[in-house]
Amino acid sequence: MAENKTVPTDENVAAFLAAVTDPQRRADAERLCALAAEVTGAPPVMWGSSIVGFGSNHYHYESGRQGDTAAVGFSPRKQALVLYYLPMDETLLARLGKHTTGKGCVYVKRLSDVDEEVLGELIRAGFQARNVTT
């Protein structure tokens, strides 16, 4: 069975965020990191080479595959901030502001496009639903 490549690392989150080349994306990622840390009460940890995660979630599929992921997380990609493991709560998403969704992800081009209070609610809900250890 293949090993999960997205595991917690000792890489420095601040250094990772400081290396984001686009100044707006970097500022948004730093603000998002602070918001998620505040909302979850968990420290940011690098998961793999490009995901900043908070907390931990153990999963176990019927196939027997199991592993760990961040309870919630994000990655400052070139095209957008990608937020992982948030609930796809239509009521909250309708209030969030300009975003798109994909397979379990929420994509935000700029934090100024969304309501940070609602984003905090989504992060909190995802974290509370999935966090098993901090």
Q: Give the domains, in start order, of the chain with CATH numbers.
A: 13-130 (3.90.1150.200)
Mean pLDDT score of the chain: 93
- Higher-pLDDT residue of 91 and 7 is 91
Strand extents, DSSP E, the chain: 45-47, 51-54, 57-60, 66-69, 72-76, 81-84, 100-101, 105-108
Provide the pLDDT confidence category of residue 3 given band limits of 50, 70 and 90.
low
Phi-psi sector, 85: left (phi>0), alpha (psi -120 to 50), beta? left
Tokens of 103: 């397979």
Distance set, CA 1 to CA 4, 9, 59, 66, 119 (Å): 9, 21, 15, 10, 36
Q: Residue 65: its pLDDT value, please?
A: 79
Q: Residue 134: its pLDDT value, please?
A: 45
23-72 residue pLDDT tens? 999 999 999 999 999 999 999 999 999 999 999 998 887 888 788 889 99
79-105 residue pLDDT tens? 999 999 999 999 999 999 999 999 889
